[in-house]
Amino acid sequence: MAVKKRVKVSAALNSFIKEIERLERFDSANQKKFIKGELTKSQIELLVESIFFASYRGYEGFLREIFLLYCLEKQSTRSPKVKSYLKPKDFAHAEQLIKSSMFFLDWTKPDNVIERAEIYLQNDGHPIKLPYTVNKQQLKEFKRIRNHIAHNSIESQSEYETVLRSYYGVVPLILPTPGHYLMLVSKRKPTNYNLLDFFDLVKKISVDLT
């Protein structure tokens, strides 16, 4: 992933929100075409999966960026002030210090993000830890969907089935595609479908993180 040059947390947030809003508009346009019969069921499901994956990737990039900015002690709007245990020279150096001997940094696992915040950010991982702790279960659920779209493996299917079991109460005999699942009515907000739940979640967390 290319190293970004933004130096303000607010700039990272604004860029991310604009990207999510763009994807929301794209999904809305696609849903209208599906209702009109201009898209088939398999086409809309594929588009929904692609939009979800793009939004998830955008969120990963946003999280990576603000975490490294916080390691540089760039400030959020939250109190107390952000304090880092690291003293990196710049953005790239901050990532090198955290990465150490790891091949890459995984930003998809909530527990890893919480632990990373506790290790590198003072004041008990502020301002990353609290929003992640509060929303950990929902983040894990969407991570399982993301992984099944990305890998479609026996392991990812097993994790995806836990999402389906939570939604239906049992695992369906015929597994719905992730795209189909993401278009099902939300159990959290009946006026939403599950993809919109994800948009709402990442927009809320992104604001809480900054």
**Span 135-190, pLDDT tens digits:** 999 999 999 999 999 999 999 999 999 999 999 999 999 999 999 999 999 999 99
Q: In the predicted model, what is the mean pLDDT of residues 95-119?
A: 91
pLDDT confidence of residue 1 = 41
Nearby residues of 207 by Cβ (< 8 Å), 6 or more positions away: 13
Q: In the predicted model, what is the mean pLDDT of residues 14-26?
A: 98
Q: How far apart are CA 206 and CA 125, in angstroms?
A: 16
pLDDT confidence of residue 5 = 57
Q: In the predicted model, what is the mean pLDDT of residues 74-81?
A: 92
Query: With bands split at pLDDT 50, 70 and 90, how would you rate the model's confidence at 100?
Result: confident
pLDDT confidence of residue 49 = 98
Q: How far apart are CA 129 and CA 113, in angstroms?
A: 8
Q: In the predicted model, what is the mean pLDDT of residues 35-51?
A: 98
Query: With bands split at pLDDT 50, 70 and 90, how would you rate the model's confidence at 102?
Result: confident
pLDDT confidence of residue 2 = 46
Mean pLDDT, the chain, whole residue set: 94
As given in the structure block, the two tokens for residue 93 are 């150096």
Cβ 105 vs Cβ 98: under 8 Å = yes
Q: Which amino acid is at 210?
A: T
Q: Is the pLDDT of residue 39 over 50?
A: yes
- Indicate left, alpha or beta for 68 from its phi (over 0: left) and psi (-120 to 50: alpha): alpha
Q: What is the pLDDT of residues 52-66, one digit of tens each?
A: 999 999 999 999 999
pLDDT confidence of residue 170 = 97
Query: How distant, in Å, are the alpha carbons of 5, 56, 161, 197 from that of 148?
Result: 32, 13, 10, 18
Q: In the predicted model, what is the mean pLDDT of residues 125-129?
A: 97
Query: How distant, in Å, are the alpha carbons of 61, 189, 194 from that of 56?
Result: 9, 20, 14
Query: With bands split at pLDDT 50, 70 and 90, how would you rate the model's confidence at 3?
Result: very low
